[in-house]
């Protein structure tokens, strides 16, 4: 199914996006309103997370925005009613924050997810849900590339709570018939990502420093990773929502070939046409929860839903740098 057909599938449909003012949520909203969907965005605009009203530039009058927290079950109970689709992207993404403040991570990534599903069960059992999960729940891989059969062994509080949130969705699909599936995201990059710190992705701080004309730090450098451009991730969300075969399952996203952090830094400099980096030792506090090399086997979603990334990493980095050269001030 082409991107154009994906978007038009949602014409006239009512769509709720939690975390809708964030990185992926706002890019998803832009695609959906382009296809004629009636989109409501829920976001707490907590400064520690990724929500930013600047992400809606050009579509402000085409979406409904509700400033609310997914932990408020009273508001979610109302917002969920009458919706055809829920893209559930609200979450606490920082691994280090989850270790410093595990209770908040538990509230957002686990307890709030159960509350959302209970609201769906009681007030909108026909809704279709795609949950934004994470590759972090695999922990340190036993083998590469990591497929969905790999043991789930999180190395931080964030991974444990996201794993619970994901499995609540699968459980409610299997037991209550609430059609739900999950996408285990890898490193997603692109316009609208958080760049003022590394809470969302380490690449955000790299891009910020590069655009500011400052050297950025590469910790270690030998670790292998895979990256998805945000538009490709949005394709996956739209595909998952439209395929009955997706419900009840969790799918890896990913890209080929994997690339080391050092080579990623070199590619970022090439994409920008300027910039410098310095190699540093991995900080001791982060080393404890580092997973080493990671890249996904995404053949399940490719075979079942027809998804695969279309954007090269070089192009993704170019488009990301170009965006922040124009809009950096809005993200600081």
DSSP alpha helix (H) spans, 11-156: 23-34, 73-79, 95-100, 102-106, 112-123
Res 288: pLDDT: 65
Res 127: pLDDT: 98
Res 1: pLDDT: 55
User: Tokens in use for 246?
Assistant: 């997706």
Q: Give the CB-side neighbour count of residue 266, counting CA atoms within 13 A.
A: 7
User: Tokens in use for 176?
Assistant: 């209550």
What Å distances lie between residue 186 and 128, 251, 255, 295, CA to CA? 23, 11, 9, 8
**119/114 Cα distance (integer angstroms):** 9
What Å distances lie between residue 179 and 1, 187, 227, 298, 328, CA to CA? 21, 26, 28, 22, 39
Domains assigned to the chain? 3-331 (3.40.50.720)
Burial class for 12, CB neighbours closer than 10 Å (0-12, 13-18, 19+)? exposed
CB 23 within 8 A of CB 55: yes
Res 239: pLDDT: 97
Q: What is the pLDDT of residues 151-201, one digit of tens each?
A: 999 999 999 999 999 999 999 999 999 999 999 999 999 999 999 887 768
Q: What is the pLDDT of residues 204-252, one digit of tens each?
A: 999 999 999 999 999 989 999 999 999 999 999 999 999 999 999 999 9
pTM of the full structure: 0.95
Res 3: pLDDT: 61
**320/182 Cα distance (integer angstroms):** 26
Q: Which helix (H) or strand (E) holds 238?
A: helix 230-242
**259/293 Cα distance (integer angstroms):** 10
User: To the nearest 5 percent, what fractions of the chain are helix, strand and coil?
Assistant: 45, 15, 35
**52/62 Cα distance (integer angstroms):** 16
User: What percent of the chain stands above pLDDT 90?
Assistant: 80
What Å distances lie between residue 38 and 5, 8, 74, 134, CA to CA? 17, 12, 22, 27
pLDDT of 271 strictly over 90 = yes
Mean pLDDT of the chain: 93
State the DSSP string of 51-82.
Answer: --GGGGTTTGGGEEEEE--TT-HHHHHHHTTT
Res 2: pLDDT: 59
CB 20 within 8 A of CB 26: yes
What are the CB-based long-range contacts (under 8 Å, 24+) for 262-265? Answer: 262/218, 262/221, 262/222, 264/203, 264/225, 264/227, 264/313, 265/206, 265/216, 265/218, 265/221
Q: What is the pLDDT of residues 172-181, one digit of tens each?
A: 999 999 999 9
């Amino acid at each position: 199914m082409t991107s154009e057909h994906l978007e038009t599938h949602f014409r006239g449909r009512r769509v709720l996006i939690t975390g809708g003012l964030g990185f992926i949520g706002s890019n998803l909203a832009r695609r959906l309103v382009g296809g004629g969907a009636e989109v409501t965005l829920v976001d707490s605009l907590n400064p520690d997370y990724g929500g930013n009203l600047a992400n809606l530039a050009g579509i402000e009058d085409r979406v409904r925005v509700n400033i609310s927290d997914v932990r408020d079950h009273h508001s979610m109970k109302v917002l969920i009613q009458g919706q055809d689709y829920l893209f559930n992207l609200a979450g606490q993404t920082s691994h280090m924050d989850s270790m410093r403040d595990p209770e908040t991570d538990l509230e957002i990534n686990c307890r709030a997810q159960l509350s959302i599903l209970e609201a769906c069960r009681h007030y909108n059992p026909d809704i279709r849900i795609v949950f934004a999960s994470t590759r972090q729940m695999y922990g340190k891989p036993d083998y590469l590339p990591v497929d969905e059969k790999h043991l789930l062994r999180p190395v931080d509080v964030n991974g444990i709570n996201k794993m619970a949130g994901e499995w609540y969705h699968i459980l409610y699909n299997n037991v209550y018939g609430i059609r739900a599936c999950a996408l285990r995201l890898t490193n997603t990059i692109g316009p609208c990502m958080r760049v003022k710190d590394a809470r969302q992705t380490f690449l955000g701080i790299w891009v910020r420093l590069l655009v500011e004309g400052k050297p950025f730090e590469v910790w270690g450098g030998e670790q292998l990773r895979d990256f998805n451009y945000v538009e490709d991730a949005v394709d996956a969300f739209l595909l998952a929502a439209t395929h009955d075969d997706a419900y009840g399952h969790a799918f890896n996203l990913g890209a080929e070939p994997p690339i080391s952090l050092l080579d990623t830094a070199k590619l970022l400099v090439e994409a920008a046409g300027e910039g410098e980096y310095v190699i540093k030792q991995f900080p001791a506090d982060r080393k404890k929860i580092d997973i080493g090399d990671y890249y996904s086997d995404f053949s399940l979603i490719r075979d079942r839903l027809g998804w695969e990334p279309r954007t090269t990493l070089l192009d993704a980095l170019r488009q990301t740098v170009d965006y922040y050269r124009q809009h950096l001030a809005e993200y600081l």
